[in-house]
Structure 1
Amino acid sequence: MADPRITLGLGLLIFGLILFAEASPQGRILGGEDVAQGEYPWSASVRYNKAHVCSGVIISQTHVLTAAHCVSSVTITPVDASTLAVRVGTINQYAGGSIVNVKSVLIHPWYGNFMHNIAILELAETLVFSDRVAAIALPPKTEEQTEDVDAELPNGTPVYVAGWGELSDGTASYKQQKANYNTLSRSLCEWEAGYGYESVVCLSRAEGEGICRGDVGAPVIDDEKVLRGLTSFNFGPCGSKYPDVATRVSFYLTWIEANTQ
């Protein structure tokens, strides 16, 4: 006959393991993995009054792109640039790398209600590029805009996002997370979410995954490490059944180039 003390001890151990499993975070809202140091050197943590609020992407030694609603006071009127800074060169939103102040903020003139959700941050200092700080490549410029945007990113194109958004347990991620997505065509995005605009890219992922607060403004890149979008918003709660939405960068190339020379 088994020693009752052993049986009781095993029972308590199993019970404790069950409680620990239930109490531990059950995965990240991005459904992804930790980013390795230097893996996404173009990433930036956009900070308002010294706290991380959104993600961003380095496009030159003096400019960062992010989502307009991250830096908007009222519609296209930005918050005071003196309240903003970016942390670059680190995967830790709380430490490492360097913090650079923002000199000026330009929100796209058509921005409103999450449409044309893009802004340019001009930095107060010139970034020193290294293996941990670099500019992302912008998409090639075409002769004219076309409504056949699916030719640029056909349905099911693999794309990748990395940011510092909330995890599935509601806590903030101190370490940058990355995840894989697939693009949705305009017609499928219209079908699934009623949002098939040529100025956006819709991102497909499993339910229970996706972008969340703190990820907005993060770069959406393709296999060639070309910037294709900036994460913009998600429908309903994070990880809902609906696709996530990103601002299509190619739609704004002329505006970006005109304001970053």
Structure 2
Amino acid sequence: MLYASRLTLATLCALALLQLAPALPQSRILGGEDAAVAEFPWVASLRLNKAHICSACIISTTQLLTAAHCVSDMGTKPVAASALTARVGSVNQFAGGSLVDVSEVLIHPSYGNFLHDVAIITLSKPLTFGEKISKVALPEQQAETEPEELAHGTPVYGSGWGEQLDGTASYKLQKANFNTVSSQMCELEAGYGYDSVLCLSSAEKQGVCRGDDGAGIIDDNKVLQGIVSFHFGSCGTKTPDVAARISYYAAWILSNAK
């Protein structure tokens, strides 16, 4: 799954000059290294009909955040909550921790074509927080002002159970480092400089992979800055990975918190 390197500004500028071939978005992440037990206690394996489909982040004892497309039946209509479960408190996507049923799925009302790719999942019963299960910190809501964009090249980190280089899925939670890409640079490289997204740099044959959709992207202070959305083209291209920028949705998340 997650496996990324730090790109210099000079490298990013050079990439911006390359002509990018049109490509359909795919949700992917490659490589990585094993995460330690309880290193990312807010991470959950989101499961549809008992099979892992995406990652999710615990934001309270009863709610998770994930990518909207993970739980979309069609547009903003969600899949049946009864078909979903979440495994929490384990670095093994197949065992350990607890499996919790889902009672409600709320997709952002503006979701479409991978924009506003955020959804809130409500669990059927509260979680008990401890060393292996806890919530991730959310960005502070900024009243009456636009949330500030993370500076270009800011180090950020992610974890999930996505596809490996050999095409298999990791049973153990993987982690990796990324750098943020500014909106201007993301527009130059991918035509995707929207205020609502967080773009991430990675080297060729590294980046987000299938199964990591919904994975949380945190900063040095362990504040959730993004939810993995998709990657352009084949897995591991140099085009930036794309995540939903959580600070953009702070008011919506807060208004729907339980």
Same fold (TM over 0.5): yes
Q: For 1:39, what is the secondary structure of its paired residue?
A: coil
- Contact kept, 8 Å, 2:44 with 2:88, in 1: the verdict is yes
* Aligned-residue offset at 1:84: 0.2
Q: Residue 13 of structure 1 aligns with which residue?
A: none
Is the 1:117–1:247 contact (alpha carbons within 8 Å) kept by the matching residues of 2?
Answer: yes
Instruction: Name the counterpart of 2:166.
Output: 169
Residue correspondence of structure 1 range 11-30 to structure 2 within 5 A: 30=30
Query: Please, which of 170, 180, 183 is the counterpart of residue 183 of structure 1?
Result: 180
Alpha-carbon contact 1:30-1:178 (below 8 Å) kept: no
Q: Determine the C-alpha separation between the residues in 2 that align with 1:142 and 1:242.
A: 30
Name the amino acid aligned to 2:119.
Answer: A
CA contact (8 A) 1:29 1:208 kept: no
Alignment of 1:37-76 (within 5 A): 37-76=37-76
Q: How far off is 1:32 after superposition?
A: 1.8
In structure 2, distance between residues paired with 1:239 and 1:87: 27
Question: Runs of 5+ in structure 1 lacking a partner?
Answer: 1-27
Q: Deviations over 1:191-224 (max 9, x none)?
A: 1111000000000011110111110100000000
2:183·2:193 contact (CA, 8 Å) conserved in 1? yes
Tell me how far apart the structure 1 counterparts of residues 121 and 164 of structure 2 sit (CA, whole Å): 27
- Asked whether the equivalents of residues 234 and 245 of structure 1 are also in contact (C-alpha less than 8 Å), the reply is yes
Contact 2:151–2:182 (Cα < 8 Å) also in 1: yes
Question: What is the CA–CA distance in structure 1 between the aligned matches of 2:29 and 2:134, rounded to whole Å?
Answer: 27
Q: What CA RMSD, in Å, does the superposition of the two structures yield over aligned residues?
A: 1.2
Distance in 2, matches of 1:77 and 1:105, equals 9
Q: CA deviation at 1:241?
A: 1.6
Q: Using the alignment, how far apart are the partners of 2:81 and 2:236 within structure 1?
A: 32
For residues 43 and 131 of structure 1, the distance between their equivalents in structure 2, rounded to whole angstroms, comes to 12
Change (3 A) 1:78 1:212: same
Asked whether the 8 Å contact 1:145–1:251 carries over to 2, the reply is no
Higher helix share: 1
Distance 2:195 2:203 in 1: 23
Q: What is aligned with 1:118?
A: 118
The answer to whether the 8 Å contact 2:186/2:240 transfers is: yes
Residue 158 (structure 1) aligned with residue 155 (structure 2): yes
| Dislocated runs of 4+, deviation >2 Å | 28-31
Task: Provide the rounded CA distance (Å) in 2 between the counterparts of 1:145 and 1:251.
Answer: 11
C-alpha distance in structure 2 between counterparts of 1:52 and 1:260, whole Å: 25
Please list, as runs of the form range in 1=range in 2, the aligned pairs for 1:185-224 lying within 5 A after superposition: 185-224=182-221
Higher normalized contact order (CA 8 Å, seq sep 6+, divided by chain length): 2
The amino acid of 1:190's aligned partner reads E
Q: Are the equivalent residues in 1 in contact too, given 2:155–2:177 (CA < 8 A)?
A: yes
Identical aligned residues as a percent: 60
User: Secondary structure, in 3 states, of the residue corresponding to 2:227?
Assistant: strand
Once the 2 structures are TM-superposed, how far is the Cα of residue 248 of structure 1 from its aligned partner? 0.4
In structure 2, relative to structure 1, the CA distance for the partners of 1:103 and 1:29 (3 Å cut) is closer
TM normalised by structure 1 equals: 0.87
Contact 1:164-1:172 at 8 Å conserved across structures: yes
